[in-house]
Every structure is written in C-alpha cells, then in structure tokens.
Amino acid sequence: IVVDELNESDQAILAFAPDRLEASELKHQVFVSNPTVEGFGIDVQYKSSDQKRYHFQCSHCNLWQSLDWYVNVVREVEQRKYELRDKKWKAISDINIYCKKCNKPLERKDGEWVAEYPSRSNERSGYHISMLITSQHSITELYDEFTAAQSNDLKLQVFTNSRLGENYTATGVKLNLKLMQDCIKPDYLLPPDYQAIQGACSIAGIDVGAKLHVRVNEHLSMKERR
C-alpha cells in the first residue's frame, strides 16, 4: 500500500487500508506526505520510525550534521526577525550554509542517511526530506521565500511544511491549561457581589495570529441598565 499525501487523505478510509494486506506475504506500507501539524498524519508515522535525516560532513572540523534552517542558514536576532549567517553573501552567488560547530561554510555533497533510532530500522524506516539536502535548490531562492513569509503566517506555513519538511504551528495557536493559568491575574477576579447582578457577563474575544488582538466587553442585564 502506497499512500501519497497522507495528511490530505481521508483518514477514515485509510483506517481500512491494512485489511487489503491480509493475503499478502510482504504487508509493506509506504506513507508519503508534506507534514502539517504535530501529532497528526505523517508526523505520527515518522516519529514511530527510525527517523533518518540526511547528514553532511564539515570539511573544516569533520562534524557530521543534519541541516537546520534556523541553525545553518539564519539566526534569530529579535522575535520573528532573522539575519543570514553568511555575512559575505552577494547576489551574484548562492547563500552559503554554515557549520553549526566551527561556523565555516558547509558544502552539500557526499552526505549519508543517519537514523536517530537505528534499533527501529527493521520495523519501520522513516526519512525526513527537505530542500536543504539537495544542491538543486538554491539557498537564495529559499531565503527569498522565507523573507516574504515573515509577515504572512500562511506563507510561513507553506515554507515550513513544503520546503523544510517540518511541522508548523503559528505562535499562539495552541492553548493548554498552563497558558490559561498564566493569564490569570488578581485584577481579573470577579467582585463578590457579581452574581447579584442578574444576567451580567463579561465577554472576551481573541483574534489568534502572529499577534493576539483581545477585546473585552462587559454586558449588564436590561434591569441593571435601567
């Protein structure tokens, strides 16, 4: 069974896919997809595998490493503001990738797949693929796309999912109990006689994105308004 674009497929139908292998001696299943968010689809399949990533060896310090956009290409100087690690880059040449250890240019050649969990290789083999591992994609083109995406969460999601092969969650999208508790302050507590105001309520609206836009309105009952 080969499932292309797992994350875009009908998950209910895929639940029956293993039934088609009952009479097969091989029972091979292959899942291919751009990732979307953590804990869904291809992310689950990859994390249960041996998690292979393509490694290159630095010709200067001999360190073998997989490539990370935010480590080998750019660095964050302020929140959501990045600069190239290649300070000598000019438009007539491609942007250099830099070794995370010795901070010298790293060539993308003569690499090899390395499993993070080799003991799982006989059960499930997984490969992380990004445009950083092939010299057929220029870093300059990727950087132009990355720069254009800084003010647009949708473009940044496409860049992260499709170009880097990584999950993407916009800042502020996921809520959990800790985040909610961190928002509690004494000033937000209701007065003791609040319940006495029949029909009163406070309503908060939050527009989630790169920035959180919050509006809080308090509405009293018609009786109280009079």
State the CB neighbour count (10 A cutoff) for residue 2.
8
Q: How much is the pLDDT for 141?
A: 95
Task: Return phi, psi of residue 163, to 5°.
Answer: -90, -40
What pLDDT does residue 201 have?
A: 67
Mean pLDDT by runs of 10 across the 226 residues of the chain is: 94 90 92 93 96 97 97 92 93 93 94 97 95 91 95 92 91 62 68 57 72 73 46
pLDDT at site 124: 94
pLDDT computed for residue 219 by the predictor: 61
Q: Looking at residue 224, what is its pLDDT? A: 46
Phi and psi of 160, rounded to 5°? -70, -45
Can you tell me the distance from the alpha carbon of 186 to that of 77, in angstroms, rounded to the nearest whole number? 34
pLDDT at 195: 55
- Residue 53, judged by CB atoms within 10 A of its CB (0-12, 13-18, 19+), counts as buried
pLDDT score at 200:
61
pLDDT, residue 226, reads: 42
Identity at 124, one-letter amino acid code: R
Q: Find out whether 159 and 145 touch, Cβ atoms under 8 Å.
A: yes
pLDDT at 7: 94
